[in-house]
Amino acid sequence: MKHLPLRAICLRCLQIVPGIGSAAAPGLPVGRVIRVILSCLIVFSALCWPGAFGQPQPAVAGSTGGIRADGSLAFINAEGRVLVSITIEIADTPQARATGLMGRRGLDDSVGMLFVHDTVGPKSFWMRNTPTSLDIIFVSAKSRVIHIAANTTPMSDTVYSSNGPALYVVEVPAGFCTRHGVVEGTLISWQRK
């Protein structure tokens, strides 16, 4: 099979398109048309590609950030009223807990990740390879919030600790706890689908 240079292929295609590079448009500079078309494609691609300019994309309303719907979780205040319920992806294996929300973008307040640990004890998390700021909620074996690391720094190695023995950790978008009134002492209730 004979390979044609890209310019030859482009010129051949433009000759087929009515009005470009044909007798219908004599004198139209084909090279300029190609440059304009390629420039438009490059600009369009850059504008449509998430994170094209190195900026994290903001959370979009209705965006699940690729969260797998493994179950649901409710935050309950001291009076027993449900503050908010979310769909959760459950990380209950060593690999799932190690990966967490790394690489995920665009979470909204309807989703989060629940880390279920094998033992109760101090827990520590970091934000390495996590492009979205989070609220990290540490929860005791009795399902009570014991500490909240709010508005964490994306893509950092800063360590966020539970400040006490925890069995569960919930990760939600930054500002979630403030928006929904989740504070230390709030209870969680969760179930698998």
The pLDDT value given to residue 16? 43
- Rounded alpha-carbon distances, angstroms, from residue 133 to 57, 70, 148, 172: 11, 22, 13, 9
Which sequence spans correspond to the domains of the chain?
6-48, 71-192
Nearest CA-CA partner of 159 in 123, 124, 122: 124
pLDDT tens for residues 99-157? 999 999 889 999 999 999 999 999 999 999 999 999 999 999 999 999 999 999 999 99
pLDDT grade for 30, boundaries at 50, 70 and 90: low
pLDDT beyond 80 at 158: yes
At 71 the three-state DSSP class reads: strand
Share of the chain above pLDDT 90, in %: 65
How far apart CA 149 and CA 165 sit, in angstroms, is: 15
- Answer yes or no: CATH 3.40.50.300 is held by domain 71-192: no
Return d(Cα 131, Cα 133) in angstroms, integer.
7
Cβ proximity of 89 and 114 under 8 Å: yes
Q: What is the pLDDT of residues 37-65, one digit of tens each?
A: 655 444 444 444 433 333 333 333 455 77
State yes or no: pLDDT of 11 exceeds 90: no
Determine the pLDDT at residue 59. Answer: 35
